[in-house]
Structure 1
Amino acid sequence: MTKLLVRNEEVLIHAAAARELATHTLLHLPHESCGVLLGTAAAGSIQIEKFHPIRNVAPDPLHAFTFHPEEWIKFCLHPERLVGIVHSHPHSQPIPSQDDLTKLNGYGQLLDAYLICSPNESSNSIIIHSYRIIHPSFHSKTEINDNFRLLRTQLTVT
């Protein structure tokens, strides 16, 4: 059985960052929107202090997201405050798709939190689901599990 490195971390998002995320998500409907989450990850919690949008350059932005390479690389080169990413599912629930999980293997090592949001059809707001990124570890000296996983966690707006 594969051993997973799991930390019981609380995920907090500042109210201003949550508002910016909601505005950005609703503004880009019906397309998927995406961005990075800046903050700190220490002492048992992930604190999201700022949302920074990144342009979605996916060939089919109605059903997928791809970060604009130049905008994304700026954060990868200076990951000190990079704690996570976020994208929207404009036409479905904020639950990771198989494509989300596949893409996570390309950059999961840089991140602690993964947020997915969807429009709330009964109001002009969004539903946000928060996930902790579970980093893979060695199963044995000869076998490596290189798949990152997402574990749903509580998101608290502060």
Structure 2
Amino acid sequence: MAALHGQQNAFYIPSSVEQEMSKHMFLSLPQEACGVMLGETAAGGIRISRFQPIRNVAPDPLHHFTLDDAEWIRCVFSEPKLIGIFHSHPQTRPVPSLEDLQALPAFAGLLQMYLIGSPDLTSGSRSHMHLNGYLIESSKESQDPAQHVVPSYNLLPVPLCVT
């Protein structure tokens, strides 16, 4: 992802796609919603073209998300290209939690972006979502005690432009 590294770039999302994500999040309440972003890397950032909701099959979907395996696998091999993941924080701000960061290595090698949404409970409307975007950055690899190389990932905030 050299095109985004070290530069001020953005994620570009059509308003219709942002509205689909918001609708999915509100329909999923009080559970966490999840899905994937499809699109492409372009000059100046990442362009999202489609949102694909995925069932949350976590044992505790009120506080966690786990993508349905069959739906996830279909998205991995879909066109346009799988570029990111979305999930919601129904009760907290849309910033990465410790659990989000710990779960990142399970799928981060396939993705470039991570979006987190949360309901705007102050607006009085049940249709507005706060949405934050993060670039998935691969950090230096470390070694575990068994001498296996383990990739490490970070989430870097990136401006999100709704068009």
TM-score normalised over the length of structure 2 = 0.85
- Deviation, 1:10, is 1.4
- State whether residues 137 and 145 of structure 1, in contact with CA within 8 Å, keep that contact through their aligned partners in structure 2: no
Match of 1:103 in 2: 103
- Give the direction of change, closer, same or farther, for the CA distance of 1:79–1:149 in structure 2 (3 Å limit): farther
- Deviation, 1:138, is 5.2
Match of 1:133 in 2: 136
Residues 111-150 of structure 1 aligned to structure 2 (within 5 Å): 111-123=111-123, 124=126, 125-137=128-140, 146-150=151-155
Match of 1:17 in 2: 17
Identity of aligned residues (%): 41
Larger RCO (CA within 8 A; separation ≥ 6)? 1
| Cα-to-partner distance string for 1:67-89 (whole Å, 9 max, x where unaligned) | 00000011223475111000000
Amino acid at match of 2:55: R
- Give the direction of change, closer, same or farther, for the CA distance of 1:61–1:38 in structure 2 (3 Å limit): same
Instruction: Tell me whether 1:85 sits opposite 2:90 in the alignment.
Output: no
In the alignment, structure 2 segments of 5+ residues that lack a partner are none
- Deviation, 1:144, is 5.3
Task: Give the secondary structure class of the aligned counterpart of 2:107.
Answer: helix
Task: Give the secondary structure class of the aligned counterpart of 1:53.
Answer: strand
- State whether residues 131 and 150 of structure 1, in contact with CA within 8 Å, keep that contact through their aligned partners in structure 2: yes
- State whether residues 38 and 79 of structure 2, in contact with CA within 8 Å, keep that contact through their aligned partners in structure 1: no
Task: Give the secondary structure class of the aligned counterpart of 2:151.
Answer: coil
What CA distance in whole angstroms lies between the structure 1 residues aligned with 2:138 and 2:98? 17
Match of 2:160 in 1: 155
Cα RMSD between the aligned structures?
A: 2.1
What CA distance in whole angstroms lies between the structure 2 residues aligned with 1:93 and 1:106? 23
Instruction: Tell me whether 1:33 sits opposite 2:38 in the alignment.
Output: no
Task: Give the secondary structure class of the aligned counterpart of 2:122.
Answer: coil
